[in-house]
Amino acid sequence: LTPLKDTVDIPGMGVAIDSRETTGSPSDLLLHHFNQITAENSMKVEAWYDADRNFRINPDAVSLLDFAAANDVRVYGHVLLWHSQTPDWFFHARGTALTSSEEDKQFLRDRLKTHIDNVAKAISDHSGLFGSDTNPMVAFDVVNEVVSDGNEPGDGLRRSAWYSVLGEEFIPLAFEYADEAFNQTYAAEGSDRPVKLFINDYNTEQSAKQDRYYALVERLLAAGVPVDGVGHQFHASLATPTSSLDAALTRFAALPVVQAVTELDNTVGTPVTEANLIKQGHWYQDAFNVFRSHADDLFSVTVWGLTDARSWRSEQAPVLFDGDLQAKQAYFGAAGLDVEP
C-alpha cells in the first residue's frame, strides 16, 4: 500500500500511540505510513509523577522517545498544561485548595514552572540526543483546551482550576516557561529553539468556539507571547462538513503562526455499517484534500489512534485501519486512492 506520508507534502504525518505500537506488526504499520508520533497519554501532566508525587519520566514515554530516535520519527509532545489528567494535588497546598490570593498565585506559578522545566530536562537527559541533529522532539502542546464551550462573559476562557487561581495569566506564563525551558535545554547557543510551541483545542471548526479561539490567539500574539502554532483537534463525525475544516484553516492562516491538525478522527455512529465505512472513506478523502490545499501552512496532521481497536472511540470505527491492522476505506480515501475499488 502507498505510504500515507508519501501522499501529503506536509512535514509531519502523525499518529497518536502508546508503547503498544512501538513493537511488532503495529510498529511496522506505523513506520510504513507515518513519520511522526504523539504520546496519547504518557506525556500528560499526571504521567510525569509516581504515586508519591515524585517527578520521573514515564516508562511509556521512554519507549516512545527511543522508538522515535531509532526510526527517525518526529515526536509531537502532548501536553504541558491541561485541566484534565492533572493530579488534584497540583491545586492544593498545605492540605487546602489554592485560592486566588497573591501567595497562592505565586505558589501555582512556581509549580507550573517547575513542572515545565522538569519535563524539558527529563526528555533531554533521557536520550542525550537533544540539541543535536537527531533530536526527535519537534513540538509541544503547551496549553490544551483552555477555550470555553459556552459563552462565558468577557474572555471566552474555560473556568478551570488553572483559571480560578491565576485567571488568563496562566496561558502566557505557560508559553514563557516553555520557551525558557526548551531554549535552555535544547538549543545550542545562538540557534533557534527546535521545539515549536502550540496552543491546542477542539471544535475549532465550529464558529462560536472558533471566534473565541481566534480572539485568544490574536491577544497572545499581540502581547508578544511565544506561540508558534495553532492546533485543531478535529474530532469529527460523518456530519462534520469538511468545508468547516477548510474554513478554520483558512481563517487562522491570516495569523503569523503555523497550524497543525492534532487529533483527527471521524466517528460513524453505531452500529458500524459497510455503507457508513464507505461514507467515511469519502469524508477522509475530502478532509485530506483540504489538508493538501493548506500544505504550505501545516506543520503536521495527526490521526488520533493507529487502529479502530485502539481508539478512544473504538465503537464508532473512527480511524484509518481496523483492529486487524487492515486498511479501511478511510485509508484509501485519505491517501487519495479509490474508496470503492
Any contact of residue 85 with ligand G3I (CB under 6 A)?
Answer: yes
DSSP string for residues in 53-95: --B---HHHHHHHHHHHHHT-EEEEEEEE-SSS--GGGGEETT
Any contact of residue 59 with ligand G3I (CB under 6 A)?
Answer: no
> Catalytic residue among 60, 205, 263, 265, which?
263
Q: Which of 114, 312, 323, 338 binds ligand G3I (CB under 6 A)?
A: 312
CA-only gyration radius of the chain, Å = 20
Our CB check for ligand G3I shows the closer of 40 and 117 to be 40
**Total of chain residues touching ligand G3I, rule CB under 6 A:** 9
User: How far apart are CB 308 and ligand G3I at their closest, in Å?
Assistant: 13
Q: Which of 265, 257, 247, 253 is nearest to 311 (CA)?
A: 265
Give the cell for residue 166: 491565576
Our CB check for ligand G3I shows the closer of 201 and 335 to be 201
Any contact of residue 308 with ligand G3I (CB under 6 A)?
Answer: no
| CA dist., res. 149 & res. 158, Å (int) | 7
145 counts as catalytic: yes
> Which residue is nearest to ligand G3I, using beta carbons?
312
| CA dist., res. 127 & res. 336, Å (int) | 37
User: How far apart are CB 19 and ligand G3I at their closest, in Å?
Assistant: 11
| CA dist., res. 29 & res. 320, Å (int) | 11
User: How far apart are CB 202 and ligand G3I at their closest, in Å?
Assistant: 6
User: How far apart are CB 44 and ligand G3I at their closest, in Å?
Assistant: 7
201 counts as catalytic: yes
Any contact of residue 40 with ligand G3I (CB under 6 A)?
Answer: yes
> Catalytic residue among 145, 228, 265, 308, which?
145
| CA dist., res. 153 & res. 13, Å (int) | 38
Q: Please answer whether residues 234 and 179 qualify as being in contact, where contact means their C-beta atoms are separated by less than 8 angstroms.
A: no
In a 3-state reduction of DSSP, which class is residue 204?
Answer: coil
- Contact residues toward ligand G3I (CB under 6 A) are 40-41, 84-85, 144, 202, 233, 263, 312
Q: Which residue numbers are catalytic?
A: 145, 201, 263
